[in-house]
Amino acid sequence: MPIDVEWDNAEKTIVRQTYGREVTYNDYYEGVKRRFELISSVEHPVDLIIDLRGFNPNLKGLVAAGRYASRHVPSNQRFVLLVGANLFIRSLVNTFIK
C-alpha cells in the first residue's frame, strides 16, 4: 500500500501514517479517510505521526489535497508530528492548521 495507516500503540492514542515514494491522489484521499476513521473510532484525544521520509510529492494538486484534509479533521485529533517533511510541505501544513 502506498500509504500505511495504523495505530502506533495499544492504547490507541497515536496514529502513524507512513507515505511510500509513489503516491497518487486517490491513495492520498484513501489514506486520509482511513486516518480519520481510526481517530473517530475512539473518544479520547489522538495524536498523529505523518512519516514523509520516503515521499516524493507531485506538486500538482497538493494544495487541494491538503485543503481537503484540513477541512475534515476529527474533533479529537490533537497534535501532528511531521517526520521527514521538507520546508515546502511544513509551510503548507502550517498554513492549513492555522
Q: Which domain holds residue 42?
A: 3-91
pLDDT of 98 reads: 58
pTM: 0.87
Our count of domains for the chain comes to 1
pLDDT in tens, 39-88: 999 999 999 999 999 887 765 777 788 888 888 899 999 999 999 988 88
- Is residue 98, in this structure, part of any structural domain at all? no
pLDDT of 10 reads: 98
Grid-cell match 481537503, residue found: 68
CATH number at residue 18: 3.30.750
pLDDT of 53 reads: 92
Q: Name the nearest CA neighbour of 80 among 59, 51, 56, 55.
A: 51
pLDDT in tens, 8-42: 999 999 999 999 888 888 888 899 999 999 999 99
- Is residue 97, in this structure, part of any structural domain at all? no
State how far the alpha carbon of 89 is from the alpha carbons of 8, 58, 83, 84, in Å: 23, 11, 11, 10
Q: Say how far apart CA 46 and CA 92 lie, in whole Å.
A: 22
